[in-house]
Structure 1
Amino acid sequence: MLRWFQPQKNLKVLIILTAFLFLFSVSPVQVYAQSDIQFKDLTVSVLPEYDEPDKILVIYEGTIISSLPYNGEIKFMVPKKDQNINVGMACEINAAGGHECQPYRFTDKGDYQELTWKLSKTVQPGQEYKVYLEFYYDGIKGQANKTIDYKFVPILPIKNLTLFVGKPLKATNFKLDPPYTFTGQGYNLNTFGYTFTNPTNPISIKISYTKDDPNPSFEKPKNDNQAANTQAPPTTSTTPTISTPVSDWIILLLFILFIVFLGLLIFYALKTQSSSHPTRKDKNSRYGKGSSRSGAQAQLAAERKRIRRLLLEGKISEETYRELISDLENEYR
């Protein structure tokens, strides 16, 4: 131990310094917790009877941004499981345009459920990061005359939202309520669009049309096994899959080590401080428990007489006598 290191005097300084070092080591996690993650833009496509009969295909495509580094979760509100929701892909889109699908989980939110996955990469300030969600669900009512009550529920802030509704092929008398404000072409269908800026409340759209043909607009490829979903197939079982990233375990380990180190530091400081201030009992222990200074002097005198008697009886030499007397005085000094 270095001479300048005196825990009994510098304990507070050491604790503060250690705490600062620990906080700096985990500061990214605190930054993530304070981040304002949001969608720069989000496109929602609602495609009734697209490639599965009597089902609605919904696709979310968005770009997320954050003013601070963020590696937390991305969340979407989707229909309840009792509407036979079937998630096709829950993915992040890489720089090359490829889909990197992630494990996700569901959380019951009453009339809806929340679909969540942990981002695999950190979204840096000023960086745009694209995500993609695709699912089917039962939401079509009626036989020939069909109606759909679709509701989009925002969770994260959205700067610009575009919502497309596709008209199924062979459908007639197609109507939207409220009336659409944008017309486009997408997903090989005539689509009708809505635009919203900074939406915060749920958006409801009523869709109605007539269609006698039971077949979907397009035939689903037989070998369609969600080829893009090759890196991490989503878990669709009733038991949610919750993955803990390696970085969380590292942070937990650092925290445990910090607590252990701090405890040892305090223990050592208290022990050192205690040993550096001996009690009166320690000082007098060589005289016997409860003995006084006068008692020690009496013992010294008695021991001198014993050594003197050994010299007179010729059992020790003069030189040995002087050595014993010197040692005795040093002991009782």
Structure 2
Amino acid sequence: MQRIFKTLIRPVVTSVLVLVTVLSFIPAAAWAGDEQMEFKNLKVSVWPEYDDPRVLVILEGTMVNASDSPFKGEVKWNIPKGKDLEIGMACEIVNGGHSCQPYEQKDKGDWIELTWKTTRSIAPGEEYPVFLEYYYNPIEGSVDKKFTFSYQPSYKIDSLTVSVQQPLKAENFKIDPAPSSTNTDSGGFVNHNYVYSNQTPNNKITLNVSYKKADPKPSVEKQVNNNNNGGEQQASGVQFTSSFKDAKIWVPAGFMVLILGGFISYAVMQNKDKQRADRIDRLAKKAVKTNRTKGAKNPLLVEEKKKLRQQLLDGAISEETYLQLLADLEEEYEE
């Protein structure tokens, strides 16, 4: 009997254990398909050397509950492990403003999984706008530079736009594969755009970027943050030493840390919100001037202007086209 076990059963048991072990290491994205949430639309902006020597990545889009039951739980993002990773903002969008949330990071092998918990229950079919911003440093070289940007979706995405911004003083800028379109915004930045549809967590996007840039300075000057990035510690764990084992000591101390951390996080996030708002306002600076004198109180006109502005931000239309369409709208609503 023991001989039969050794010769027949043991190899089978061993094979099953090996298979289970291998499957346990397969990324969760490969098994996606049962998620309640998915993206209606998502834009990924990749800005190398924008206001920092690193690469700034901005993800903004609208999620939707595609299931038949309410959802309240974790929102997941896959972000690269690159050097000098710094999370800038991780936010729900509430009434057009950023409501930044405490987040956690988990090592998933090739990726870092960033998560935060929704602050409310998302009803079936309800939309949930989100925003994530981070810096990391995949850039190689001092003059002749190159880096690879990869994006691994964590949810199904109906409409995905990826836009890579060329640094102002960069020369011989190339991306492989080639973009589907390019446009120049009001700040003089050339944007290289890609459009995808019906993406799943199994559709990894990889872009190889290269360019020449002798000036080490970023394209624009970064606003000074006197808080020294204290808000980035909002999701970090705290390791207590033996001096904190007495509850009389660590409970009051813990409350003090939480209160202080809350004040610091709030101040930093307010600063981050302002920086992001400044970047977006740069894209529509000319439009603001035209809005001050014409039809600003007409709700239909305001709504049409919002749609045009979103198309501009998505890279779907150029600045010249945007201004022309805006002028046509003003003329139409004046009649």
Question: Do both share a fold (TM > 0.5)?
Answer: yes
Distance in 1 (alpha carbons) for counterparts of 2:181 and 2:41:
16
- The match for 2:199 is 199
Name the SS of the counterpart of 2:133 in structure 1. strand
**Residue 211 and residue 138 in structure 1: after superposition, are their counterparts in 2 closer, same or farther (change >3 A)?**
same
Distance in 2 (alpha carbons) for counterparts of 1:224 and 1:151:
32
Name the SS of the counterpart of 2:124 in structure 1. coil
Distance in 1 (alpha carbons) for counterparts of 2:120 and 2:226:
28
Name the SS of the counterpart of 1:85 in structure 2. strand
1:134 aligns with 2:136: no
1:41 aligns with 2:41: yes
**Residue 175 and residue 239 in structure 1: after superposition, are their counterparts in 2 closer, same or farther (change >3 A)?**
farther
For residue 84 of structure 1, report the CA deviation from its aligned partner.
Answer: 1.5
For residue 198 of structure 1, report the CA deviation from its aligned partner.
Answer: 1.4
**Residue 114 and residue 187 in structure 1: after superposition, are their counterparts in 2 closer, same or farther (change >3 A)?**
farther
- The match for 2:75 is 74
- The match for 2:121 is 122
Answer whether contact 1:89 1:135 (CA < 8 A) is retained: yes
Name the SS of the counterpart of 1:235 in structure 2. helix
Equivalent residue runs for 1:286-325 within 5 Å? none
Equivalent residue runs for 1:124-273 within 5 Å? 124-185=123-184, 188=187, 189-200=189-200, 201-223=203-225, 235=234, 237=236
For residue 98 of structure 1, report the CA deviation from its aligned partner.
Answer: 1.0
**Residue 121 and residue 187 in structure 1: after superposition, are their counterparts in 2 closer, same or farther (change >3 A)?**
farther
Amino acid at match of 2:170: A
Instruction: Give the structure with higher Rg (CA).
Output: 1
Residue deviations 1:199-222 (CA, integer Å, cap 9, x gap) = 231100000000000100010112
Distance in 2 (alpha carbons) for counterparts of 1:196 and 1:99:
26
- The match for 1:321 is none
Aligned-residue sequence identity (percent) comes to 44
- The match for 1:60 is 59
For residue 37 of structure 1, report the CA deviation from its aligned partner.
Answer: 0.7
Name the SS of the counterpart of 2:134 in structure 1. strand
Residue deviations 1:219-250 (CA, integer Å, cap 9, x gap) = 011248699x9xx876253669xxxxxxxxxx
**Residue 170 and residue 35 in structure 1: after superposition, are their counterparts in 2 closer, same or farther (change >3 A)?**
closer
Amino acid at match of 2:151: F
Answer whether contact 2:86 2:232 (CA < 8 A) is retained: no
Distance in 2 (alpha carbons) for counterparts of 1:216 and 1:87:
19
Name the SS of the counterpart of 2:211 in structure 1. strand
Residue deviations 1:245-277 (CA, integer Å, cap 9, x gap) = xxxxxxxxxxxxxxxxxxxxxxxxxxxxxxxxx
Amino acid at match of 1:206: N
Name the SS of the counterpart of 1:219 in structure 2. coil
**Residue 216 and residue 236 in structure 1: after superposition, are their counterparts in 2 closer, same or farther (change >3 A)?**
farther
Distance in 1 (alpha carbons) for counterparts of 2:141 and 2:112:
25
**Residue 205 and residue 183 in structure 1: after superposition, are their counterparts in 2 closer, same or farther (change >3 A)?**
same
Unaligned runs of 5+ in 2: 1-33, 240-335
Amino acid at match of 1:140: I
For residue 190 of structure 1, report the CA deviation from its aligned partner.
Answer: 1.4
Distance in 1 (alpha carbons) for counterparts of 2:131 and 2:238:
23
Amino acid at match of 2:71: Y
Unaligned runs of 5+ in 1: 1-33, 241-333
- The match for 2:26 is none
Answer whether contact 1:101 1:233 (CA < 8 A) is retained: no
The two structures, once aligned, show a CA RMSD in angstroms of 2.5
Answer whether contact 1:104 1:234 (CA < 8 A) is retained: no
**Residue 238 and residue 197 in structure 1: after superposition, are their counterparts in 2 closer, same or farther (change >3 A)?**
same
Distance in 1 (alpha carbons) for counterparts of 2:151 and 2:218:
23
Answer whether contact 2:165 2:191 (CA < 8 A) is retained: yes
- TM-score between both structures, scaled by the size of structure 2: 0.56
- The match for 2:92 is 92
Distance in 1 (alpha carbons) for counterparts of 2:228 and 2:128:
22
Name the SS of the counterpart of 1:198 in structure 2. strand
Amino acid at match of 1:120: T
4+ residue stretches of structure 1 with deviation over 6 A? none
For residue 83 of structure 1, report the CA deviation from its aligned partner.
Answer: 1.4
Distance in 1 (alpha carbons) for counterparts of 2:157 and 2:42:
7
Equivalent residue pairs, number: 201
For residue 128 of structure 1, report the CA deviation from its aligned partner.
Answer: 1.6
For residue 182 of structure 1, report the CA deviation from its aligned partner.
Answer: 2.2
